[in-house]
Amino acid sequence: MDLQRLCCVILAFAVVLFVCFSSSVTAGDIVHDDDDAPKKPGCENDFVLVKVQTWVDGVEDAEFVGVGARFGPKIVSKEKNAHQSHLTFSDPPDCCTALRKQLARDVIMVHRGNCRFTTKANVAEAAGASAVLIINNQKELYKMVCEPDETDLDIKIPAVMLPQEAGASLEKMLRNSSSVSVQLYSPRRPLVDIAEVFLWLMAVGTILCASYWSAWTAREAAIEQDKLLKDASDELTNAKDGGASGVVDINTTSAVLFVVIASCFLVMLYKLMSYWFVELLVVLFCIGGVEGLQTCLVALLSRWFKRAGEAFIKVPFFGAVSYLTLAVSPFCITFAVVWAVYRDVSFAWIGQDILGIALIITVLQIVHIPNLKVGTVLLSCAFLYDIFWVFVSKKLFHESVMIVVARGDRSGQDGIPMLLKIPRMFDPWGGYSIIGFGDILLPGLLIAFSLRYDWLAKKNIQTGYFLWAMFAYGLGLLITYVALNLMDGHGQPALLYIVPFTLGTLLTLGRKRGDLKNLWTRGVPERPCPHVQHENSQEFSQEFNEEK
């Protein structure tokens, strides 16, 4: 089983390297740096996503998503108030000069380029169009703004930008059908979706379960070590060796290397991202998920099937494996394979979350930070890593590397599987609320450490550090989602908010209570050695008998 644990640790750190990310995935990104194009009269609309519902020969067909322009009238928010209009090609296609024929309140489809957006809208309005759909020449959506020197902004028809793929689909409909109609409306997104509440509970609950399992295991190991130390002094070395088995302690060097290795791995993913690369990540995720699910199920079922959990058989390559592990392994493998095959169905997120949570809990059980010093270095490095690859990387790569990798923009799929996600249930735009494994694992390492310390120091829930650390993590994650909604759903580095709250709380409390030095260096409470106590009690008894 040591080999299995080692494989799980290696895979888990590969997962953490590139998933320190939290975001809400919506219908599409809106790309444009409009700081140099402020609002002004006639050009002061807020940017909103717009639904473009189509009908082909009177039958409802595909729905596309675009973004409304800064200029023109506001687009209605309710579907019942939106009018259905005939769709037609622009002639000329770029709509930069007067159209060759007048329109009867049709919606006109034009290509981007050769002139300003406002020019296209004015030409379409003059020809009698009721709205203009501008097809982008790229995959992303683009914010249509007004240039600083523009004055002809009294535009009375709405303008909507559609991505390149949507334009290609509409052109195909128009060429293959006798009649295509469209309806434009922009439903309002709820301020908070219930999916974010469930995702918050999922993240907090995962750390809670993993921390208690880790602390319970550490306390059992400490009790067992105390028993061995009381028995005989020659068992001291064996007790120390036994206490460390099955646990991997992070040191400061590995914490610093995390940033370098993580950055290299992230750039590799960014450059090599493709359909087959995502398939490889799915395989790796399934391997880790099988190991995590198996470990959790064995630990849970061993309370009822103790004999099967304590009886072992030697298996080639894996070594000694319990009968209980052999019994649950086929189920875990089947579960992961079924999820991988059907991961594109609407409810596949349930299987992905189960495998992901099991993997996170298992890693937090195996991987420990030995003291607050290592935890501070690790989280500080992750804090800088997260900010750099979500925000600063835009300056170097012209797009956020972390967000592109997490979404899988270049793979043709829904993104990498190393995420917990829940569909946005009451959001008319659909999509998922997601959180990266790293945003749970990395703070979870520090929180699990705090509970292990509390239990070994025999601190109760009020005088300990765990309750405050959990509260700080929950508050930091909550603020992440508030920032996410304020930023119109754009990806946010969750560790930007979580690390200061969680790490700052432990450092402040430790200093106030006088435990900071011990937390920083030793990481375990000072305890008298039971063996020394036993020897002292024997010497005292012998001296007392001699005096008598």
Q: Do the Cβ atoms of 34 and 145 come closer than 8 Å?
A: yes
Point out the residues that are catalytic.
386, 439
247-275 tens-digit pLDDT: 888 889 988 887 788 888 888 878 877 77
3-class state of residue 152 by DSSP = coil
- Calculate what percentage of the chain has a pLDDT beyond 90: 36
The least confident of 37-41, 98-102, 290-294, 458-462 is 37-41
* 230, pLDDT greater than 70: no
* H helix and E strand count, the chain: 18, 16
Structure confidence at residue 236 (pLDDT):
45
* 20, pLDDT greater than 50: no
* 434, pLDDT greater than 50: yes
* 431, pLDDT greater than 60: yes
Contacts of 24 (CB under 8 A, 6+ apart): 196, 424, 431, 432, 433, 434, 484, 485, 489, 491
Structure confidence at residue 411 (pLDDT):
56
Cis peptide before 73 (omega within 30 of 0): no
* 19, pLDDT greater than 70: no
- What would the DSSP string read from start to end of 215-249? HHHHHHHHHHHHHHHHH-GGGHHHHHHHHHTT-EE
* Dihedral, 134, 135, 138, 142 alpha carbons, nearest 10: 20
Confidence of residue 5 (pLDDT cuts 50, 70, 90): low
* 245, pLDDT greater than 80: no
Residue 84 Cα distances to 57, 104, 106, 392, angstroms: 13, 13, 9, 44
Structure confidence at residue 446 (pLDDT):
96
* 409, pLDDT greater than 90: no
The least confident of 6-15, 140-149, 364-373 is 6-15
352-406 tens-digit pLDDT: 999 999 999 998 988 899 999 999 999 999 899 888 888 888 888 888 888 777 7
Q: Do the Cβ atoms of 422 and 347 come closer than 8 Å?
A: no
Confidence of residue 546 (pLDDT cuts 50, 70, 90): low
Average pLDDT, the chain: 82
User: 31 versus 52: which is more confidently predicted?
Assistant: 52
- What would the DSSP string read from start to end of 405-443? HHHTTTTTSS--S-EEEEE-TT-TT--EEEEETHHHHHH
3-class state of residue 100 by DSSP = coil
Structure confidence at residue 237 (pLDDT):
45
The least confident of 9-18, 198-207, 381-390, 496-505 is 9-18
Structure confidence at residue 332 (pLDDT):
95
Structure confidence at residue 468 (pLDDT):
96
Structure confidence at residue 48 (pLDDT):
86
Structure confidence at residue 240 (pLDDT):
44
* 29, pLDDT greater than 50: no
Structure confidence at residue 417 (pLDDT):
83
Confidence of residue 201 (pLDDT cuts 50, 70, 90): very high
User: 545 versus 352: which is more confidently predicted?
Assistant: 352
50-79 tens-digit pLDDT: 999 999 988 888 899 899 988 889 889 888
Structure confidence at residue 21 (pLDDT):
46
Nearest one of 59, 91, 66, 234 to 143, comparing CA atoms: 66
Distance, C-alpha 253 to centroid of its chain: 26
User: 506 versus 416: which is more confidently predicted?
Assistant: 506
Q: Is the dihedral of CA 256, 258, 261, 265 positive or negative?
A: negative
* 113, pLDDT greater than 70: yes
165-174 tens-digit pLDDT: 998 999 999 8
Confidence of residue 321 (pLDDT cuts 50, 70, 90): confident
Confidence of residue 229 (pLDDT cuts 50, 70, 90): low
Structure confidence at residue 32 (pLDDT):
42
Structure confidence at residue 510 (pLDDT):
94
Rounded mean pLDDT, 480-499: 79
Structure confidence at residue 239 (pLDDT):
42
* 290, pLDDT greater than 90: yes
Rounded mean pLDDT, 206-231: 84
Structure confidence at residue 28 (pLDDT):
37
| Cα gap 467→311, rounded to integer Å | 38
* Top mean-pLDDT range of 185-199, 322-336, 482-496, 525-539: 322-336
Confidence of residue 30 (pLDDT cuts 50, 70, 90): very low
- Calculate what percentage of the chain has a pLDDT beyond 70: 83
Distance, C-alpha 328 to centroid of its chain: 29
315: enclosing H helix or E strand: strand 312-315
Alpha helices in 304-347 (DSSP H): 306-310, 323-341
Structure confidence at residue 294 (pLDDT):
93
Q: Is the dihedral of CA 323, 324, 329, 331 positive or negative?
A: positive
| Cα gap 294→297, rounded to integer Å | 5
